[in-house]
Amino acid sequence: MLRLFLTIANIIITGSAFAGSEIPTTNWGAVLKVPLDQVATVDKGLIEWGNWIKETHPMGDEANGLDSLTITKGNPTGGHVYYVIVERYDTPDGLKNHQSLYYRDSGGAYASTFSKLYFMQAYRVSGSEQKKTVFSIVP
């Protein structure tokens, strides 16, 4: 059941990332609004997810390389903490490769990592997907 949920969530994420031709398809990200009592769980899950990316994805100038992954969080406000996640690739093929790696690993070697990421859908602020880079400096 969890695998089905993760697959459906990923289809929604992928579909929204690739839907509009006028929007660059080199980014993916979201804003999460997390209840205070879930912050430690989300921190741990996001770090584990980031480590999966670090361990499995090509980086930088490699073919389909990850340009950057940033996960930030704000201070508590109104009983919640907001997180901003932005994953950037130099080319649309890099983002497509990310999807391929997700499908390969979500039921395999990293299944336990992905089983903890229920919060990505549960706490995502509706319409907050990050698809377009307005300004970036990567030294």
- Three-class HEC string of 30-88: EEEEEEHHHHHHHHHHHHHHHHHHHHHCCECCCCCCEEEEEEEECCCECCEEEEEEEEE
- The pLDDT-based confidence of 20 (bands split at 50, 70, 90) is very low
Say which CATH number the domain at 98 has: 3.30.70.100
Establish if 99 belongs to a structural domain.
yes
3-state secondary structure of 18: helix
Establish if 137 belongs to a structural domain.
no
Domain enclosing residue 22, as ranges: 2-122
Q: Which residues contact 22 (CB under 8 A, 6 or more apart)?
A: none
Quick check: 19 and 27 in contact, CB under 8 A?
Answer: no
Establish if 135 belongs to a structural domain.
no
Establish if 12 belongs to a structural domain.
yes
pLDDT tens string 34-76: 999 999 999 999 999 999 999 999 999 999 999 999 999 999 9
Please calculate the CA angle 32-14-138 and round it to the nearest 5 degrees: 65
Establish if 128 belongs to a structural domain.
no
Establish if 136 belongs to a structural domain.
no
- Count of structural domains within the chain: 1
> Rounded CA gap, 42 and 21, in Å?
32
pLDDT tens string 62-111: 999 999 999 999 999 999 999 999 999 888 899 899 989 999 998 888 99
Establish if 29 belongs to a structural domain.
yes
Question: If residue 111 lies in a helix (H) or strand (E), which one and from where to where?
Answer: helix 111-115
